[in-house]
Amino acid sequence: MLVVGLTGGIATGKSTVSSLLKSRNVPLVDADVIARDVVLPGSSALKKIVKVFGEDIIRPDGYLDRPKLGAIVFNDAEKRKQLNAIVHPAVIREMFWAVMRHWWRGDKICVVDVPLLIEGGLWKWVGLVVVVYCSNEIQLQRLMTRDRSSREDALSRLNAQMPIAEKLEYADLVIDNSGSIQELEPQIDTLLQKLERKAGWSWRVSWLFPPWGLVSALGTLLFAHIRRSRRVKKKRSRRT
């Protein structure tokens, strides 16, 4: 199975791309959805969040007060680190099992939509990195419109992530979402053709003979890692 990491900056259009892929029957795992599930009332992650951020972070109905927590962590790097240290291990665990379920079903391709794929180092564990790109200004405008937030709030969210230009260095494929949805659609069709071609036929052998699948997956990851690391180094040395 070809595991594709879909990432980008905040509001560059990952969810939009994901839903276009979903409408074309591509199996998807969404880290944002999992990150919500692992902090539901009664979860151990939520208990740890309360220990760090206090009882005030819980709404009267027992759910996490997301806007309140967002206002704290997107303005304080240390607090954000503390939250990430609680939530990310649970998200990674659930994502791993979700991907395994797709493999078990015999899916050829599985796309994982992970906003922090590069920051969290998960790019090393996917066969292909796809970055959804748009300029910082478009990103800001779309974020402010979607969240009905001020420019200042949108900027603090945007600055909590690695700049999109740096993320591009890790990309095996780029989707340019600077234009309209109509301009995005054909790029999704091209992307899908490329993914189908890359997944080839060997996924079937890997599924039928899991030991071969494991060796082939490790080989793919190793080569992808070397290729991307070289590319990032080259692009950085060109910049300096």
Ligand X SMILES: Nc1ncnc2c1ncn2[C@@H]1O[C@H](COP(=O)(O)OP(=O)(O)OP(=O)(O)O)[C@@H](O)[C@H]1O
Ligand Y SMILES: CC(C)(COP(=O)(O)OP(=O)(O)OC[C@H]1O[C@@H](n2cnc3c(N)ncnc32)[C@H](O)[C@@H]1O)[C@@H](O)C(=O)NCCC(=O)NCCS
User: Given the rule CB under 6 A, which residues bind ligand X?
Assistant: 8, 10-16, 32, 115, 142, 146, 177, 180-181, 184
Using the contact rule CB under 6 A, the part of the chain among 122-130, 155-163, 197-205, 206-214 near ligand Y is 155-163
**Which one of ligand X, ligand Y, none is in contact with 181 (Cβ closer than 5 to 8 A by kind)?**
ligand X
Q: Which residue is nearest to ligand X (CB)?
A: 15
- Least Å distance, CB 162 to ligand Y, is 9
Considering only residues 79-108, where is the footprint of ligand Y by CB under 6 A? 80, 83-84, 87, 91
How many chain residues touch ligand Y (CB under 6 A)?
19
Query: 20 vs 199, which CB is nearer to ligand X?
Result: 20
Interaction between residue 161 and ligand Y (CB under 6 A): yes
User: By CB neighbour count within 10 A (0-12 exposed, 13-18 middle, 19+ buried), where does 4 fall?
Assistant: buried
Please identify which residue in 70, 98, 118, 187 interacts with ligand Y, judged by CB under 6 A: 70
**Which one of ligand Y, ligand X, none is in contact with 66 (Cβ closer than 5 to 8 A by kind)?**
ligand Y
Q: Are 2 and 198 in contact (CB under 8 A)?
A: yes
Q: Which residues of 45-69 are buried (b: 16+ CB within 10 A; e: fewer)?
A: bbebbeeebeeebbeeeeebeeeeb
Query: 39 vs 199, which CB is nearer to ligand Y?
Result: 39
- Least Å distance, CB 15 to ligand X, is 3
CB under 8 Å to 4, separation ≥6 — which residues?
A: 109, 110, 111, 112, 126, 127, 128, 129, 130, 195
CB under 8 Å to 158, separation ≥6 — which residues?
A: 9, 10, 136, 139, 140, 143
Considering only residues 114-153, where is the footprint of ligand Y by CB under 6 A? 115-116
**Which one of ligand X, ligand Y, none is in contact with 160 (Cβ closer than 5 to 8 A by kind)?**
ligand Y
Neighbours of 91 (CB within 10 A): 24
Query: 181 vs 215, which CB is nearer to ligand X?
Result: 181
Amino acid letter, residue 152: E
Please identify which residue in 6, 17, 35, 224 interacts with ligand Y, judged by CB under 6 A: 35
**Which one of ligand Y, ligand X, none is in contact with 146 (Cβ closer than 5 to 8 A by kind)?**
ligand X
